[in-house]
Chains A and B, each alone.
Chain A
Amino acid sequence: QSVLTQPPSASGTPGQRVTISCSGSSSNIGSKTVTWYQHLPGTAPKLLIYSNNQRPSGVPDRFSGSKSGTSASLAISGLQSEDEADYYCAAWDDSLNAVVFGGGTRLTVL
């Protein structure tokens, strides 16, 4: 059971907009920033969003992040086949003194 809660799966058709949620508590998302990663099997995780809503250079603006209270969301607009991957949220947890990850959401592009 992960400290941050994500839906196990999400799907959409090319061109659609999909949103992936990440729910936490006051000791993590509620008081710390959220980071999002994209992970393809056999490769290194890729940083998508940091500090809740900031995109590193090279990440398309189709990817956006937001946070409200103890929840965060990753939105992907103009869905493309290459977006098919696993997506993880993460944040520092003040109670655990640890980085906590969500369980991951597998995105399928139909």
Chain B
Amino acid sequence: EVQLVESGGGLVQPGGSLRLSCAASGFTFSSYCMSWVRQAPGKGLEWVANMKEDGSEKYNVDSVKGRFTISRDNAKNSLYLQMNSLRVEDTAVYYCARDYYDSGRPTPGKYWGQGTLVIVSS
């Protein structure tokens, strides 16, 4: 059974840092591109970043460029999101998701974690 379990969320002050983790099981983690997607309170889903299966390529949304870094450790079946210089508007539930490829590009697919809540507030 495919499982994705996020952790690392919590309350942090503006300008602070957090590192989210996503533990994967039930599939060959090193064979899949993985994404982070977030949902701010009262807002829609927003894709944050993804990383190719071997870590050779990664992309992220403009609003987090220079602040958030996606990484993975295939030996530990884990995906990470290092979040620095956090802003109030980064407050959201953060989900990790396993991507599928179509048209040569990855998109979050069938498997998602339950999410971890990040609150940025003073």
Contact = CB atoms under 8 A, between A and B. Distances in A.
Interface of A: 2, 31-33, 35, 37, 39, 43-47, 50-51, 56, 86, 88, 90-92, 94, 96-104
B62 interface: yes
Interface residues of B, number: 27
Nearest to B112: A44
B62 A56 contact: no
B115 A50 contact: no
Contacts, number: 73
Given A33-B102, A103-B44, A56 B107 contact: no
Contact of A2 (B44, B60, B108, B112): B44
B44 A91 contact: no
B109 A104 contact: no
Query: Would you list the 10 A-B pairs with minimal beta carbon distance, nearest first?
Result: A92-B105, A99-B47, A104-B44, A44-B112, A47-B110, A33-B102, A32-B103, A101-B45, A51-B102, A103-B44
A96 B62 contact: yes
Given A45-B37, A98-B61, 10 more contacts: A35-B107, A37-B108, A45-B97, A88-B44, A92-B103, A94-B105, A97-B59, A98-B47, A99-B47, A99-B107
B78 to A, nearest CB: 18
19 contacts: A32-B102, A32-B103, A32-B105, A35-B107, A35-B108, A44-B113, A44-B115, A45-B95, A45-B112, A90-B47, A91-B107, A92-B105, A92-B106, A94-B105, A98-B59, A98-B62, A100-B47, A101-B44, A102-B44
B121 interface: no
B114 to A, nearest CB: 6
A92 B113 contact: no
Interface string B6-46: 00000000000000000000000000000101010000111
A78 B105 CA distance: 33
A74 B109 CA distance: 17
Contacts of A90: 45, 47, 107-108
B115 A99 contact: no
Contacts of B107: 33, 35, 50, 90-92, 99
